[in-house]
Amino acid sequence: MYNTIKLLHSYWAYLVLFMLIIAVINALIKRLGDKEYGAKDFRIALFTLIVSHIQLLLGLILYFVSPRFSLFSESGMGEIMKNAVDRLYLVEHPIVNILAIVLITVGYSKHKKKLISKAKFNTITVFYVIALVLFLSRIPWNTWMA
């Protein structure tokens, strides 16, 4: 089960990053071009929200079935924080990525309340760009691309 969830989580991350980049580029282009917010823009923002939440669920399942999770009881938090790899997988990656998904969720919710297209695109751009930067900062690149 662990390997299957890990594989799903790894490959689904490509979709999350792809959709997040598409949503940011779409919002920037439409904002700079003074375009009207339409159904396509709504769908892009919504699909980005959905795929990121699915990734969160996969990540939470992976976190609790991971062999690394037992390090909390075996070694303790102090030892985990001393080891850079364990700290990345057990602390930094989950916390930062959950924060990124919270930002996507907040940005999506806030943009729906805006009445002007420019404000909608600004909100999506700001929240989704910060989320993208957070995601990119905590991806375990050496194992993900291998």
∠ CA 84-87-91, nearest 5°, is: 155
Sign for the CA dihedral angle at 4, 10, 27, 53 comes to positive
CA distances from 42 to 7, 25, 39, 105, 135 (A): 30, 14, 5, 13, 22
pTM of the model: 0.91
DSSP 75: T
Element (DSSP H or E) covering residue 144: helix 141-144
Q: What is the mean pLDDT of residues 47-73?
A: 93
Q: What is the mean pLDDT of residues 15-43?
A: 96
Q: How far apart are CA 120 and CA 66, in angstroms?
A: 39
Question: Could you tell me what percent of the chain has a pLDDT over 70?
Answer: 98
CB-CB contact of 13 with 144 (8 Å)? yes
Q: How far apart are CA 95 and CA 52, in angstroms?
A: 14
Question: pLDDT tens across 69-84, in order?
Answer: 888 788 888 888 998 8
Question: pLDDT tens across 103-137, in order?
Answer: 999 999 999 999 999 999 999 999 999 999 999 99
Q: How many CB atoms lie within 10 A of CB 145?
A: 8
